[in-house]
């Protein structure tokens, strides 16, 4: 898909992979709606609009979609479901509210945002949905059962969704990064990049690559790992 003049929605746009994806899409000529609880600090662009949205809230998602269409037009060409939450801990000490918060954000939020855009994408017979999962959605890790469960769910949802909407001309890509230098799980990226982690920009570039693939090609899954191992 040529992104020039297209409209994209990116959830969790405030920082990290979300912000990098917004900037990458803008650089390719798209108009971008950023959805999230916090706006990307200092990001000003004539093709960027931020709409406050908690993806866990069905009403908030519907309002963000209505506002996006009002400001950027009726056609929605790209949705990047990036908003996510990671809380780690062993199962027998895990708080049920934290478990629920992760599923509400990582799984239910993906469903709500996807459901919001699909009718218009079907009318257009064109669209691309990118779901950001994780390598934690391919193999379990001790102390990460809840997070792994949500990302396995996103991967399964993505696999079923692409088979469901492919006849309607809609492509679906599940992106599964490994370690990325972000604020994830309370981390603070250092002034010097960690050579053993990927950058948010590299993950965003992979998404753009999938979105810009020829119309005859759908990249259904992408696994990303740091090139340098410890």
Task: Give the catalytic positions in this structure.
Answer: 147
End-to-end distance of the chain based on CA atoms, in angstroms?
A: 37
- Edge-to-edge, what's the strand order for the sheet holding 170-177? 48-52, 31-36, 7-11, 78-81, 127-132, 170-177, 221-224
φ, ψ dihedrals at 212, nearest 5°: -90, 5
Radius of gyration for the chain, computed over Cα atoms and rounded to the nearest angstrom: 17
CA distance 224 to 222: 6
Q: Which two tokens stand for residue 92?
A: 């027998």
């Amino acid at each position: 898909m040529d992104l020039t003049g297209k409209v994209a929605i990116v959830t969790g746009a405030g920082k990290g992979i979300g912000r990098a994806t917004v900037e990458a899409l803008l650089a390719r000529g798209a108009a971008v709606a950023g959805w999230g609880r916090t706006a990307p600090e200092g990001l000003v662009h004539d093709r960027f609009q931020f709409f406050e949205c908690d993806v866990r809230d069905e009403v908030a998602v519907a309002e963000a979609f209505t506002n996006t269409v009002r400001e950027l037009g009726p056609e929605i060409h790209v949705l990047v479901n990036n908003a996510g939450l990671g809380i780690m801990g062993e199962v027998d000490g895990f708080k049920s509210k934290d478990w629920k918060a992760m599923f509400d954000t990582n799984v239910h939020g993906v469903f709500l945002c996807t459901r919001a855009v699909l009718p218009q994408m079907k009318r257009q017979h064109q669209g691309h949905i990118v779901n950001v999962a994780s390598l934690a959605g391919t193999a379990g890790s001790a102390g990460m059962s809840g997070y792994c469960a949500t990302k396995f769910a996103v991967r399964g949802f993505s696999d079923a969704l692409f088979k469901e909407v492919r006849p309607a001309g809609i492509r679906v890509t599940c992106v599964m990064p490994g370690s990325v230098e972000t604020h994830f799980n309370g981390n603070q990226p250092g002034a010097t990049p960690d050579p053993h982690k990927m950058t948010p920009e590299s993950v965003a570039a992979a998404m753009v690559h999938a979105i810009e693939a020829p119309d005859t090609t759908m990249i259904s899954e992408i696994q990303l790992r740091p090139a340098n191992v410890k």
